[in-house]
Amino acid sequence: MAVVSLKQIVDRAFQERYGVPAINIVNDLTLEAVLAGAVEARSPLIVQTSVKTVKQIGYDVLFAMWTSMTEGIDVPVTLHLDHCPEREVITQCLERGWNSVLFDASTLPVEENQRQTVEVVAEARRHGAHVEGEIESITGVEDGIGSDTVAHRQSLDTAVSFIETTGVDVFAPSIGNAHGVYSQKPELDFERVTDLVEATGVPIALHGGSGMSDDQFADLIARGCAKVNISTDLKITYMKSNLAFLKTAEEKNKWDPPSLFAHVRRDVVDLTTGLAAKFGSAGKAW
């Protein structure tokens, strides 16, 4: 199936009520490993890149990695720019071929956020791309973007008006979720997802998925959360896997980088297949 649009992936998941892992990669190893995990699970996959990762690796190098690693892939995958408040970064990514973007203007007044999101949607359409929108900041800082201050939640009418006016393809509401590691089980507003879906028919993106319980995932996915963001779990898996291997290497005084890479890769593949099974997307490749 190879590379497809974000809309193709989330619309099918929304209709069939399963969630698609949207995993933030950090380098070439994690990119290759999450793709391999999707193939192993026969699952669609949304590969996400933060602004920090895009700038660190470089637009052209990162997109070349993507095109090389997805050549001939036989499950549906798509490339998404996550939480981007910078219009120039959005433009640069769309021009190179990113399939979708999240324009994060949640710190702006709703009216200005809406005005600029309309512009971003028009720009994306010129490139055959799609847009995720949000009007409330998700609590927590991720890759330098965000705040630990709990954001004000807008009314349902305001959210519906934003979705309908901007024409975004996916919407990310604040429902008590947060980026980073939860200190306790989050208290989530499940009904807000239902209300938004019933009012708009637009798929919902669930942010702050790392650390939620299986029951919470199942409930939210059944209500219409078709895109499930995972960033912190990938980072934890990646760094703990490296750490565990290097501790053993130090004890044995045996230093073999290819073995380290293979060890970490396997753990990231296993994370991806586990998420696909948990969210119901395993076996849903077309």
Sign of CA dihedral 96, 101, 106, 111: positive
Burial (0-12, 13-18, 19+ Cβ within 10 Å), 161: middle
d(CA 114, CA 5): 23
d(CA 3, CA 23): 16
- Name the pairing type of β-strands 130-133 and 100-103: parallel
Of 122, 125, 156, 224, the C-alpha closest to 135 is 156
d(CA 177, CA 206): 8
Question: Has 143 been annotated as catalytic?
Answer: no
Which position among 82, 104, 143, 233 bears the catalytic label? 82
Place of tokens 């996400």: 48
- CA atoms within 13 A of residue 131's CA, in its CB half-sphere: 29
Q: Say how many C-beta atoms besides its own lie within 10 A of residue 115's C-beta.
A: 14
d(CA 250, CA 253): 5
Active site residues: 82
